[in-house]
Amino acid sequence: MGALAFGVGTVQETGVPMPAHNRVPLRLSRRAALGALALPWMGCSLRRAIGNDGAGASTVNGKHMTADQVSFGTLPDGRDARLFTLRNASGTTLKFTNYGLIVTELHAPDRQGRTGNIVLGFDNLPRYLQGHPFFGAIAGRYANRIAKGRFSLDGRTFELATNNGKNHLHGGLKGFDKQLWKPGEAHITADAIWIELTHRSPDGDEGYPGNLDVTVRYTLTRDDVFRIDYTAVTDQATVLNLTNHSYFNLAGGGDVLGHELLLNCDRYTPVDDGLIPVGELASVKGTPLDFTQRTPIGARQMQVGLAVPGYDHNFVINRSPHGGLALAARVVEPNSGRVLECHTTEPAVQLYTFNFAPAEGIVCNGGVKFGRHGGFCLETQHFPDSPNHPHFPSVVLRPGQTFRSTTEYRMRAA
């Protein structure tokens, strides 16, 4: 099998208001509101903006776009995690914390114009620190699995943590999902609001080579798009695969088996019992993995063949040879009318349907309990275990190259 033309070095290189006592408004001129605004979150004046609860808070207002930030809690080492809220005129609201870059809430309108939360998450930091199934987090350095926690690069073998049976998963014991990322400035234009956050992963972190500097930009647009832009550079050859691990439920409760899914994917990577690719690409045609026509997620889940019914599969996206964003998936929730489209520059998307939820379920925001199949993930990515399959799209990043990747989750109602 020839190499596929998607590599790390080539990807794109060619709504809940805050209480009034907890907000400190920052006045904008009309010119600033209509143009671009960049404001440091943690400047001296903001550090003195203390609400009644003792938490530093700030608010940035643009034309129909707002950004808030408050304290989300304290880590065991005493560092403060922040909660950021981006909101547009239609009420679509993105909440995330710089701890793990976890998306805690995403509110989107239904066909009646009523907004509701469509992701699984918690409203406090201590609950995340107790452990969770990667709700809403950035997974890295390597999202998904690496067989036996081992790979070779340029004649050297690297040993990683085996935190998923005998395999390595989502960056190891303390991956990017457990790091406190450094927030930059909030930028507002008439069309969008975004924040960039950065993290340095030092040489040897979780066994990976090279000092890696990663920047992730979270953007909310006025037309209800949640966009994630990733960039990274390294000083040594390394491997890299980043994704966001949000669990979606467009109904806001219950299971997702009645959600209707279309995948723009004619092929997938078959796996062994440890969910490690066997190395081939197979057609979805005539299998329970064929979502090339809109189909309820639960229609054929019992036929998939996993030990626990449901999906946990890497699908190869049908892409134009010209690159750029491609449709990966479209999901429709018939009762609310909510539609979610996933577009990405990545070569693949992992569909996961929360097969391993605890039997008692997990209580999330608003006291809503989610059990097995209570959410679905669309993890845009390179293939699992790519470092051990040279014919898979390359995940090698070298000094002088810049990793670039973009994923958009586009929300609407029909």
pLDDT at 60: 72
202 phi and psi, to 5 degrees?
-75, 160
Lowest mean pLDDT among 16-30, 77-91, 355-369: 16-30
Per the CB < 8 A criterion, the answer to whether 109 and 93 are in contact is no
Query: Would you say residue 31 has pLDDT above 60?
Result: no
* CA distance linking residue 268 with residue 272, whole number of Å: 13
Q: What is the DSSP letter of 17?
A: P
* CA distance linking residue 357 with residue 391, whole number of Å: 34
For residue 258, CA distances in Å to 50, 332, 375, 376, 409 come to 45, 9, 11, 12, 20
Per the CB < 8 A criterion, the answer to whether 171 and 139 are in contact is yes
Per the CB < 8 A criterion, the answer to whether 265 and 292 are in contact is yes
| 138-177+205-220+228-413: CATH topology | Beta-galactosidase; Chain A, domain 5 (2.70.98)
* CA distance linking residue 227 with residue 162, whole number of Å: 31
pLDDT at 46: 29
* CA distance linking residue 144 with residue 353, whole number of Å: 15
387 falls in which pLDDT band (50, 70, 90)? very high
Task: Give 246-283 pLDDT, tens digit per residue.
Answer: 999 999 999 999 999 999 999 999 999 999 999 999 99
N-to-C CA span, the chain? 42
Catalytic residue numbers?
Answer: 245, 379
* CA distance linking residue 208 with residue 114, whole number of Å: 45
pLDDT at 38: 52
For residue 352, CA distances in Å to 204, 250, 311, 337 come to 30, 15, 5, 22
Query: Would you say residue 41 has pLDDT above 70?
Result: no
Per the CB < 8 A criterion, the answer to whether 407 and 227 are in contact is yes
Task: Give 87-121 pLDDT, tens digit per residue.
Answer: 999 999 999 999 999 999 999 999 999 999 999 99
Spell out the residues 6+ positions from residue 23 whose beta carbon is closer than 8 angstroms to its own. Answer: 51, 57, 58, 59, 68
pLDDT at 223: 96
Domain ranges of the chain: 20-122+181-198, 138-177+205-220+228-413
* CA distance linking residue 330 with residue 338, whole number of Å: 11
pLDDT at 192: 96
pLDDT at 178: 98
Per cent of the chain over pLDDT 70 is: 85
Closest listed residue to residue 106, CA positions, set 223, 242, 244, 246: 246
Query: Would you say residue 54 has pLDDT above 50?
Result: no
126 phi and psi, to 5 degrees?
-55, -35
Per the CB < 8 A criterion, the answer to whether 384 and 314 are in contact is yes
pLDDT at 34: 35
Query: Would you say residue 2 has pLDDT above 80?
Result: no
